[in-house]
Chains A and B, each alone.
Chain A
């Protein structure tokens, strides 16, 4: 079991012929993900050569691709200027999970795209996220498959490489994962911590959750309140950015302390007040998860 995606997920790649899209399509297929098609306007009718001689059909539009393949998920690798429109196209075509990897999407574009997708019942993950990986099931996005291993831990994070670090540490310590989700570093994201915590709570295979947050916004504080009120499973937290100065954007567009809001200290306090144990450094996550599972 897992959250949001499994072996039965049928995936379309929006922007399959681009540099990143084609590279990661091969990686996803190699992991075992069912990539049923790709979309690049103007290249409909061509095929994409996957690993092991796999041929992936390319379509001009999401509408055609969904009709021909019965896909229920999509992953977006198109440039920032077209990403919001790609999300809306996927939602309009009836896709229920839209994973937007693209970094640098204008925020005003996303205000419209999120509203549009919500109205059509599509879940958006991201943008500016590494995607998600259901261990032994499907990988949607760019998370490196080989660092993960099967086990009882759910991982949710706003970051990319920091997630890899945590997953790598867990795997080395013999603590495998169900699903690892990167929700994205942008200020406006489609799937937040609470959505993931709630899904992990319902997933019978997940026994504990690692939640990796960072400065900016109040998503972690709300997630802490949710964990306290609505979760029976233990949550281990980590917050990056204790040394970040206020008012400065730390790489991620969403990682900025505005006024007194969004500091690491405030978040750590909120997590601890809700009974979540917080790791002081990434390496401590392992011990805390072990203790939580004991």
Chain B
């Protein structure tokens, strides 16, 4: 789960990291009021789950409250990488002497949190790491001990020569690590971490992603989810316990298992079609899940055909067959449905469907080809 900048900053502040003040506005009038309250130059920043906000025109400096209002008017409602901006953060402008990058994330290969720091801040760290690896210092943290003080110092020492700055930055590294762990993050980033002409180190931007698997035990973090920032169909899927990602095609897919779901989407493309979604109904064959899945798929007007691909291992094919029939009773489904069921209790399932007038395939290729054909008809 991605957090907005203002939310990540709240967690940073709670961890003791020096973050300048800032407040959120949802209307231009609120932005103007906040600018007047802070006084002087302020920055107006789009709050969306996307990088490249500055390049897209979503970050602007305003010298007066009226200018802040004008910027907010433009930024609110603007689309950045397909996401609509609904909130802006208004914060006092900072005097910047230097900019650095500090990030911590889970490294899959090392199976541990890894710190990445660079004195080349404010820009894309992946590019810096690739093109000029000497400008980046990395540290693998042993998760059993956490970030040790001398390691924090080693990282800070790579960024600054001044002992005062090194001390402040070391402390921020340790605080960032604690914030990362105590909130169950998979990524936390300060970009840029600045120094001011008077010798202070501060975090003026914040980015954080939380491991979805942590949310059950962190209700206060889970509450930060911005349901407006995701398509309504994905919010609905989450409540129903389904894994769903909306795509642009016209073949609706309902599959059990994530790998098989991806392979099914790929096969739709192989046969010349285009998948409308990724959907994994999971191991359970609860009819309610099938109903929810069909509701979500049919809410997309692009869907011209719906395809079920079920390989019954733990999932019983007869349960899914009953779920499909139950869903047909409860909701009005216009696009044609084609079904493939194989595995546990396949024979019973085919009989149930045949009685209801459905033909079910047992091969994945046949059902996908048929669905693509129906969708393009």
Contact = CB atoms under 8 A, between A and B. Distances in A.
Interface stretch (B58-66, B86-94, B161-169, B263-271): B263-271
Contact of A114 (B111, B213, B245): B111
Interface residues of A, number: 58
Contacts of B256: 161
Given A165-B364, A242-B269, A281-B365, A111 B261 contact: no
A214 B111 CA distance: 19
Which DSSP category, helix, strand, loop or mixed, fits chain A's interface?
A: loop
Interface string B277-293: 01010000000000000
Contact of B217 (A81, A219, A251, A283): A81
B267 A164 contact: no
A215 B262 contact: yes
A202 B314 CA distance: 32
- Interface residue range, chain B: 35 or more
Contact of A115 (B112, B211, B275): B112
A4 interface: no
B365 A254 contact: no
A218 B260 CA distance: 20
Contacts of A244: 245, 262, 265, 278
A112 B143 contact: yes
Contacts of B269: 242-243
B133 to A, nearest CB: 16
Nearest to B258: A251
Which DSSP category, helix, strand, loop or mixed, fits chain B's interface?
A: mixed
Contact of A252 (B108, B143, B259, B342): B259
B260 A161 contact: yes
Interface string A240-255: 1111110011111111
Contacts of B186: 107
A33 interface: no
A163 B262 CA distance: 13
A157 interface: yes
Given A107-B211, A142-B313, A250 B143 contact: no
B322 to A, nearest CB: 19
B364 A108 contact: no
A162 B263 contact: yes
A282 B364 contact: yes
Q: Which 7 A-B pairs have the closest CB atoms?
A: A159-B259, A251-B258, A161-B257, A162-B259, A111-B143, A240-B262, A251-B243
Given A187-B108, A245-B245, 18 more contacts: A104-B213, A105-B213, A106-B211, A107-B106, A110-B111, A111-B143, A160-B260, A161-B311, A243-B265, A243-B268, A245-B247, A250-B258, A250-B262, A250-B278, A251-B278, A259-B126, A281-B266, A283-B364
23 contacts: A81-B217, A106-B211, A106-B214, A108-B106, A111-B106, A111-B112, A144-B312, A144-B313, A157-B259, A158-B259, A160-B257, A160-B259, A161-B256, A161-B311, A185-B259, A242-B269, A243-B265, A243-B269, A243-B275, A250-B245, A251-B261, A253-B212, A281-B365
